[in-house]
Amino acid sequence: MNNSRSVLSTGRGPTGRYVKTSAIGGETVTAFVPAPLPPEPPLAITPYLQDRLDQAHLALGRLDSVTTLLPDKHLFLYSYLRKEAVLSSQIEGTQSSLSDLLVYEADEMPGVPLDDVQEVSSYVSALEYGLDRVRNGFPVSNRLIREIHAILLSHGRGSEKAPGEFRRSQNWIGGSRPGTAVLVPPPPHEVAECMGRLELFLHDQPERSPALIKAALAHVQFETIHPFLDGNGRLGRLLITLLLCVEGVLHDPLLYLSVYFKQHRDEYYAHLDDVRRNGTWETWLEFFVTGVTETATAAVTTVQQLVSLAQADKKRIQELGRIAGSAFQVHQVLQERPIDNAKGIAGRSGLSIPAVNKALSALAEIGIVRELTGRRRNRIFVYAEHFRILNEGREPVRV
């Protein structure tokens, strides 16, 4: 690696110890138990790495301030959080899309297996619960982590795998059995101690860590401990956002790295493995903050595009004449939930269902909304351009 363009990681060697443990069927395997954080020797923050950290902080600052452009930031947060839930769950193999989730929330059947969309919906509930807890002063702790996990696995796949409880049996990552695994996390009797040490690090013991560095290091540590039987990947990504909010780096949960991790999946897993084997914390940190910068910058662009779209469409709605008033109210609802049915829009706007249907027809005539089902009853509408911008043009809308 060229040090003029990147960072040099100190040669720490393995960042933990290997122990023999018994797995399923009595198979003896070698498990990895991570050493407590922060790393020893300490991180070597080169000028290059410091510059990357500074760029990430600037990008986060722009993201935090751009929400002031929004007339109502909750209109954006509702769908943006759900986009993250979909992407984080897709990494774990679900087929559910953002349109599937929004259709499901509109009380219609999704176009994928119900377990998939319930799993994504539970992620939304878990993240919302965690954010509410930390906003009300509850620390990011093992108790909160278990509470979030219980909600994360409350429905769908994994609901039978001890939600909210640290595992009492051996798990593994990759491979068909522990003996062929890419990683065997700590034995079950060591999980509580490992998580206790991680909690101390999150609470700045033995020393204070800057927020971005704390989030980066804690993510690797959590993934290495893999304290639950299921849901570790989703919860590990969710914790990044929680930490940045509780540390005051972000006021609202606008940064999600699932897109970045999904786009660079092989590199992501290689970095995690290299940290464990060789202690290359600095190269992981560079990868992490690069993702923060790219993701925050993309989110700023999304906010700006959605604001511009809403302003342009309001001008078009003004020209609708007498129906413009109800069309404005429907447009407002669709900025929060870009896929919905007349019943849902009526409930959120205060309009009658006939008034909503008339407004939707007017909005469809000028190309702002599009009907998805082709049915005469129980129709579902999409705020098409809003949805395209929000979803970065990756997903066709389906029902």
State whether 73 and 104 are in the same domain: yes
Length reported for the chain:
399
Domain CATH for 379? 1.10.10.10
State whether 98 and 236 are in the same domain: yes
Structure tokens at 85: 């839930």
State whether 219 and 89 are in the same domain: yes
State whether 246 and 347 are in the same domain: no
pTM for this structure? 0.89
CB distance 32 to 183 below 8 Å: yes
State whether 295 and 378 are in the same domain: no
Domain CATH for 184? 1.10.3290.10
For the chain, how long is the longest CA-to-CA vector?
Answer: 76
Q: What percent of the chain has pLDDT over 90?
A: 61
> Does any domain span residue 309?
no
Neighbours of 79 (CB within 10 A): 22
> Does any domain span residue 200?
yes
- Cα–Cα distance between 88 and 44 in angstroms, integer? 31
Q: Which of 301, 333, 352 is the last residue of a domain?
A: 301
pLDDT value of position 386 = 92
State whether 271 and 135 are in the same domain: yes
What are the pLDDT digits (tens) for 253-306? 888 888 899 899 999 999 999 999 999 999 999 999 999 999 999 989 988 898
Structure tokens at 140: 């990011």
> Does any domain span residue 4?
no
Handedness of CA 336, 339, 340, 346 (dihedral sign): positive
Q: What is the mean pLDDT of the chain?
A: 88
- Full residue range of the structural domain in which residue 233 is found: 16-301
Q: Looking up tokens 């204070």, which residue turns up?
A: 208
Q: How many domains does the chain have?
A: 2
What are the pLDDT digits (tens) for 64-117? 888 777 767 776 777 777 887 777 777 776 767 777 777 777 766 556 566 677
pLDDT value of position 393 = 47
State whether 58 and 161 are in the same domain: yes
pLDDT value of position 112 = 55
> Does any domain span residue 90?
yes
State whether 273 and 343 are in the same domain: no
Which of 59, 54, 219, 57 has its CA nearest to residue 145?
A: 219
> Does any domain span residue 282?
yes
Contacts of 54 by beta carbon, 8 Å cutoff, 6+ apart: none
pLDDT value of position 1 = 39
State whether 36 and 171 are in the same domain: yes
> Does any domain span residue 269?
yes
